[in-house]
Amino acid sequence: MIATDPATRIDFASLKSGGIIMQREDDFFAIRLRMPGGVIPADKLPMIADVALRYGRGEVRLTARQGIEIPWIRFKDIEAARKRLAEAGLSLGPCGPRFRTVTACPGLPICRKALADSQRFARMIDSRFSGQVLPHKFKATVSACPNACSRPFESDIGFCAATEPRLERDNCNGCNLCLDICKEKALTIEGGLPMLEEGRCTSCADCIDCCPTSARRAERSGYSVYAGGRMGRYPMLGKKIADFVDEEQGMKIIQRCLDFYQSHGNKRERLGDVIIRTGMDEFVAFVLKEG
């Protein structure tokens, strides 16, 4: 990979870090937009189309991480294209060894299964950390229930909302609806009441939603946190490091993950590999320590 072309003195690495990615064909670049949670206001779409038609080849592409790219922009047109996008309030997404734009599922109030406002949390994370320079790329995502549609296990750090149920015995009428609805078969009848079996419950809250008497209620809610996941040539799923954290605690965990990554990570080493090299126990102790 050429960092700087000696003939043109174009610094490709610096362009890429700002969301302008060199294409295979000489002189052409793709511009990647910053879209936390994969959301963009509809009134910005005409400007994206305008830039694609005016400076590109009239096409846009969707990235694997919920973004939009405008390809086929000539080098001479990059500044004009970026200016037009900026005028519409659109900024470019960070690339290279940086904290990348945060992805998220729709969450509340859109998805019927949602237990949290994943979009709000994604925007919070993005506005605090996006673009931060790190040893390698760093991806974060938020899902609003254990269905994990935005694939939190595949990110360097992933959040997955969960709600642990508890039973208010006096309110239970024994209808067994919760037993029927639980996909995990995590409930069994004991003493005439539906009791939770250790280790099977995914905290999806389906049994809370279906209970006609509100006998099933939320005991604890928050995000489960997964660290060290990635896709690519050597895929690896993240490991759970915390349960039922709120947004503020989640932000602290991210900050500590980044501190650990900065101090222990080698250049071009993903967080998952750093965790394997240094040991999960050391990583978790650092990230979750009080104070």
- As measured in angstroms, the least distance from the Cβ of 235 to ligand SF4 is 20
- As measured in angstroms, the least distance from the Cβ of 262 to ligand SF4 is 30
What is the dihedral sign for C-alpha 152, 94, 120, 248? positive
Does residue 202 interact with ligand SF4 by CB under 6 A? Answer: yes
Asked if residue 33 lies in contact with residue 84, where contact means CB atoms within 8 angstroms, the answer is: no
- As measured in angstroms, the least distance from the Cβ of 200 to ligand SF4 is 7
- Phi, psi (rounded to 5 degrees) for 128: -85, -40
Please report, as a single letter, which amino acid is at residue 98. R
- As measured in angstroms, the least distance from the Cβ of 221 to ligand SF4 is 11
Does residue 205 interact with ligand SF4 by CB under 6 A? Answer: yes
Does residue 174 interact with ligand SF4 by CB under 6 A? Answer: yes
Does residue 151 interact with ligand SF4 by CB under 6 A? Answer: no
Integer angstrom CA distances of residue 18 from 14, 47, 96, 128: 7, 19, 9, 17
Binding segment for ligand SF4 among 79-87, 144-152, 224-232, 279-287 (CB under 6 A)? 144-152
**Residue 233 neighbours by CB under 8 Å, 6+ apart:** none
Site for ligand SF4 in 221-250 (CB under 6 A): none
Least Cα distance to 239 among 274, 200, 197 occurs for: 274
Q: How many residues does the chain have?
A: 291
Site for ligand SF4 in 96-125 (CB under 6 A): 105-107, 111, 113-114
Binding segment for ligand SF4 among 34-42, 95-103, 132-140, 145-153 (CB under 6 A)? 145-153
**Cβ-based neighbour number of residue 46 at 10 Å:** 10
Residue 240 or 252: which CB sits closer to ligand SF4? 240
Does residue 10 interact with ligand SF4 by CB under 6 A? Answer: no
- As measured in angstroms, the least distance from the Cβ of 140 to ligand SF4 is 15
Residues near ligand SF4 (CB under 6 A), total: 40
Helices (H), the chain: 12-17, 45-55, 78-87, 118-129, 177-181, 206-210, 247-264, 271-278, 280-288
Does residue 63 interact with ligand SF4 by CB under 6 A? Answer: no
Q: Where do we find the tokens 């967080």?
A: 271
103-104 and 140-143 beta bridge pairing? parallel
**Contacting ligand SF4 (CB under 6 A), which of 201, 245, 257, 287?**
201
Does residue 142 interact with ligand SF4 by CB under 6 A? Answer: no
For 139, counting Cβ atoms within 10 Å of its Cβ (0-12 exposed, 13-18 middle, 19+ buried), the class is buried
- As measured in angstroms, the least distance from the Cβ of 222 to ligand SF4 is 14
Q: Which residues sit at the interface with ligand SF4, rule CB under 6 A?
A: 105-107, 111, 113-114, 143-145, 147-149, 165, 167, 172-178, 181-182, 184, 186-187, 194, 196, 201-207, 210-211, 213, 215-216
